[in-house]
Amino acid sequence: MESSAEPIKKFVIVGGGTAGWLAAATLGNIFRHSDVQIELVESEEIGIIGVGEATIPPLVDTLESLGIDLVEFIQATQATFKWGIRFENWRQNEHSYFHPFGELGQKIDGHEFYQCWLKLKSHGDSTPLMAYSPESLLSEKMKFFLPHQAMNTPLAGARFALHLDATLTGKYLRDYAQQAGVKRTLGHVESISKHLNGNIASLTLQSGEKVSADFYIDCTGFKGLLIGNALNSNYQDWSESLPCNRAVTVQTTIDQTDDIPPYTISRAQDAGWSWHIPLQHRMGNGYVFCDKYISDEQAITTLLKNVTGTVINEPKIIPFTTGIREKIWHKNCLSLGLAQGFLEPLESTAIHLVSKSLALFIRMFPAKTENSVLENEFNRRVRMDYEEIRDFLVLHYCISERQDTPFWQDWQHRKIPASLTQRLDFFSQQGGLIPEVEALFQSTSWYAVLDGMGIEPKRYNMTLDALDVDKLRASLAAGKLALTHSVETQPDHRSFLQKYCGVQFG
Ligand SMILES: Cc1cc2nc3c(=O)[nH]c(=O)nc-3n(C[C@H](O)[C@H](O)[C@H](O)COP(=O)(O)OP(=O)(O)OC[C@H]3O[C@@H](n4cnc5c(N)ncnc54)[C@H](O)[C@@H]3O)c2cc1C
């Protein structure tokens, strides 16, 4: 097969936050031994947003695909491990549940584990669903180990992610990208000129220098300088579904002898929720809230009441609007990170969306001139990712029993996406949730949140009537016993970081 299409010879990435440097590292790695040039322009005066410290398991795969050594990365970014998220006060005050990353139990005679558990429950068994989750049990006991080191145990399939320092992660990725040949230009993009066909032609920096490329990647954060200002791809506001529109963040000290939770804490508050992310050297904390219900000052007071340790920095307010660009890839420009869209960080999905968008872009890699077919398909798929995540986030709120503040009362009447209503109706019949192809949140995640919030289907799938209850009970009990035993033998999280990752505390 012969191709006459002209290849892209130069990329310019604008923005040096996590999105920009992750894009630079990924493209730098791919084009390391070629004549394709990659240049990243960033403004040091503007700086980066500096949040984005909880991740999900695909980040570990991304690091691996870049050939990054996990231990080296953990040392460089003050990272800790994460098995999932502990949700506190979401169903009601004083109630908590866990959303683990991995699978729950094993299939029995081909039946989904959740269905087996439902059947046993309908026969009077009161064992909680999370008693069968490796990540939930490991979190409860503050333990960590690498699952591949526990082959042939019930823990082998456990999945983990990292908590990381956003600024240090940016620096690490920057070093990586520069070593892979990416050119870094410090400068403030002041104006953008276009060709007659509407493609971006060049960028002019404050210094007067002109920078041009065949293809541009907009990583300029919420402002979306290229995709929005220059190419007029509007930002579609999703605050009807996800009304929180501000966050206040603050860092606090972490006790250097206490257990380090191998999970993120998400605590529902009067007008939103707060996060608490343990790193090796500090805690990252934030309160995501809606300004219709409380002021910035009230949010700061609430956040400060919820933190542990001593406050290290001044609380910082970050305004945002949840939503997505109408066109994420438009003409010769791809937007990534906050320039592409934003869903509140309840399930730590933003950095993942950068990697996933990049991976998709690479699979669809355009030539210099052709783009509209690829562009349309790309935009359709990324939008599906956003819609899927939006629905999952809305789920956390809309099934809450809380009615103790106007924020939670309003959730009782809020219009929720039709796709979510349809899914909840489907679940209520017999509990089955059939995963969408390539969905990020598979059935286990939905079961964890639904069960954690006290939502159950009317009945289990009737094919399980053929399963003998006593055999089922014995099988689940044996699985639980093996799991509990395997968890006991694992090191605690802090010791693991010290011994296996060479982390030195204090
Ligand atoms: C409150 C909050 C909490 C979050 N928590 C999480 C989380 O737990 N997990 C997660 O995965 N994600 C989280 N995110 C998202 C995460 O922070 C971002 O996805 C990530 O940091 C990427 O940001 P960015 O690189 O797109 O933007 P930024 O970090 O804002 O970077 C923008 C870059 O563009 C540059 N720039 C802007 N204008 C110009 C110009 N004119 N000329 C030159 N350069 C320019 C800036 O200098 C900067 O380098 C959170 C976001 C928010 C708002």
Tokens 């002209």 belong to: 6
Query: 50 alpha carbon to ligand 1 midpoint, in Å?
Result: 7
Does the residue 317 lie in any domain? Answer: no
Cα–Cα distance, 18 to 2 (Å, whole number): 37
Kind of pairing between the strands at 329-330 and 283-289: unpaired
8-state DSSP, 291: T
How confident is residue 5, by pLDDT bands cut at 50, 70 and 90? confident
Contacting residues for 257 by C-beta, under 8 A, at least 6 apart:
none
Q: Are 333 and 226 in contact (CB under 8 A)?
A: yes
Q: Which of 488, 503, 478 minimizes the C-alpha distance to 127?
A: 478
pLDDT at 64 over 90: yes
Contacting residues for 312 by C-beta, under 8 A, at least 6 apart:
250, 251, 252, 253, 282
Query: Are residues 479 and 346 part of one domain?
Result: no
Tell which one of 266, 274, 338 to mutate to probe ligand 1, the residue whose CB is within 8 A of the most ligand atoms.
338
List pLDDT tens digits, range 142-188. Answer: 999 999 988 888 999 999 999 999 999 999 999 999 999 999 999 99
Query: Are residues 42 and 109 part of one domain?
Result: no
List pLDDT tens digits, range 304-322. Answer: 999 999 999 999 999 999 9
Does the residue 303 lie in any domain? Answer: no
Q: Any idea how long the chain is?
A: 506
- CB neighbourhood size of 251 (10 A): 25
Query: Are residues 168 and 133 part of one domain?
Result: no
- CB neighbourhood size of 422 (10 A): 11
How confident is residue 405, by pLDDT bands cut at 50, 70 and 90? very high
Tell which one of 210, 211, 220, 344 to mutate to probe ligand 1, the residue whose CB is within 8 A of the most ligand atoms.
220
List pLDDT tens digits, range 345-355. Answer: 999 999 999 99
Helix (H) or strand (E) segment spanning residue 457: none
Query: Are residues 360 and 211 part of one domain?
Result: yes
pLDDT at 131 over 90: yes
pLDDT at 505 over 90: no
The tally of domains found in the chain comes to 2
Does the residue 305 lie in any domain? Answer: no
77 alpha carbon, distance to own chain's centre: 17
Kind of pairing between the strands at 246-252 and 264-269: unpaired
Kind of pairing between the strands at 183-186 and 37-42: parallel
Query: 361 alpha carbon to ligand 1 midpoint, in Å?
Result: 20
Does the residue 368 lie in any domain? Answer: yes
List pLDDT tens digits, range 253-286. Answer: 998 888 899 999 999 999 999 999 999 999 999 9
Query: Are residues 448 and 431 part of one domain?
Result: yes
User: Could you tell me the CATH number of the domain that includes residue 176?
Assistant: 3.50.50.60
Helix (H) or strand (E) segment spanning residue 40: strand 37-42
Does the residue 313 lie in any domain? Answer: no
Does the residue 290 lie in any domain? Answer: no
Tell which one of 12, 46, 80, 389 to mutate to probe ligand 1, the residue whose CB is within 8 A of the most ligand atoms.
46
- Quick one: which atom of ligand 1 is closest to the CA of 288? 1
- Quick one: which atom of ligand 1 is closest to the CA of 349? 11
Q: What is the pLDDT of residue 3?
A: 60
Query: 223 alpha carbon to ligand 1 midpoint, in Å?
Result: 10
Query: 490 alpha carbon to ligand 1 midpoint, in Å?
Result: 36
Query: 98 alpha carbon to ligand 1 midpoint, in Å?
Result: 28
Q: Closest Cα to atom 1, ligand 1: which residue?
A: 247
The per-residue DSSP string of 100-162 comes to ESS--S--BTTB-HHHHHHHHHHTT----GGGG-HHHHHHHTTB---GGGGTTSTTTT---EE
Domain that holds residue 151: 105-158+417-494
Query: 126 alpha carbon to ligand 1 midpoint, in Å?
Result: 45
Q: What share of the chain is helix, strand, coil (3-state, %, to 5)?
A: 40, 20, 40
Query: Are residues 467 and 357 part of one domain?
Result: no
Q: What is the pLDDT of residue 2?
A: 54
Query: Are residues 348 and 221 part of one domain?
Result: yes
**b/e string for 109-122 if b means 16 or more Cβ within 10 A?**
eebbbbbbbbbbee
For residue 442 the two structure tokens come to 């598979």
How confident is residue 431, by pLDDT bands cut at 50, 70 and 90? confident
Query: Are residues 347 and 473 part of one domain?
Result: no
Helix (H) or strand (E) segment spanning residue 53: none
The per-residue DSSP string of 101-117 comes to SS--S--BTTB-HHHHH
Q: Span 59-66, mean pLDDT? A: 96
| Residues flanking ligand 1, CB < 6 Å | 14-20, 41-43, 46-49, 51-55, 166, 188-189, 219-221, 223, 225, 247, 286, 318, 320, 337-339, 345, 348, 350-351
- The two counts, helices (H) then strands (E), for the chain are 14, 21
List pLDDT tens digits, range 235-258. Answer: 999 999 999 999 999 999 998 888
Q: Are 133 and 86 in contact (CB under 8 A)?
A: no
pLDDT at 78 over 90: yes
Query: Are residues 427 and 376 part of one domain?
Result: no
Cα–Cα distance, 191 to 418 (Å, whole number): 41
List pLDDT tens digits, range 432-472. Answer: 887 777 889 999 999 999 999 999 999 999 999 999 999 99
Q: Are 345 and 337 in contact (CB under 8 A)?
A: no
Query: 354 alpha carbon to ligand 1 midpoint, in Å?
Result: 11
Return the amino acid letter for 150. Answer: A
Residue at which a domain ends, from 339, 373, 388: 388
List pLDDT tens digits, range 180-191. Answer: 999 999 999 999
Q: Are 126 and 44 in contact (CB under 8 A)?
A: no
Does the residue 51 lie in any domain? Answer: yes
Cα–Cα distance, 303 to 288 (Å, whole number): 10
Q: Which of 63, 70, 84 minimizes the C-alpha distance to 355?
A: 63
Query: Are residues 60 and 187 part of one domain?
Result: yes
Q: What is the pLDDT of residue 235?
A: 97
Tell which one of 219, 318, 334 to mutate to probe ligand 1, the residue whose CB is within 8 A of the most ligand atoms.
219
- Quick one: which atom of ligand 1 is closest to the CA of 21? 25
Cα–Cα distance, 382 to 350 (Å, whole number): 12
Q: What is the pLDDT of residue 433?
A: 83
**b/e string for 73-103 if b means 16 or more Cβ within 10 A?**
bbbbbbbbbbbbbbbbbbbeeebebbbbbbb
Helix (H) or strand (E) segment spanning residue 86: strand 84-88
Query: Are residues 52 and 23 part of one domain?
Result: yes
Query: 365 alpha carbon to ligand 1 midpoint, in Å?
Result: 24
List pLDDT tens digits, range 190-237. Answer: 999 999 999 999 999 999 999 999 999 999 999 999 999 999 999 999
- CB neighbourhood size of 326 (10 A): 15
Return the amino acid letter for 316. Answer: K
Q: What is the pLDDT of residue 13?
A: 98
Q: What is the pLDDT of residue 432?
A: 81
Query: Are residues 353 and 223 part of one domain?
Result: yes
Rounded mean pLDDT of the chain? 95
Does the residue 291 lie in any domain? Answer: no
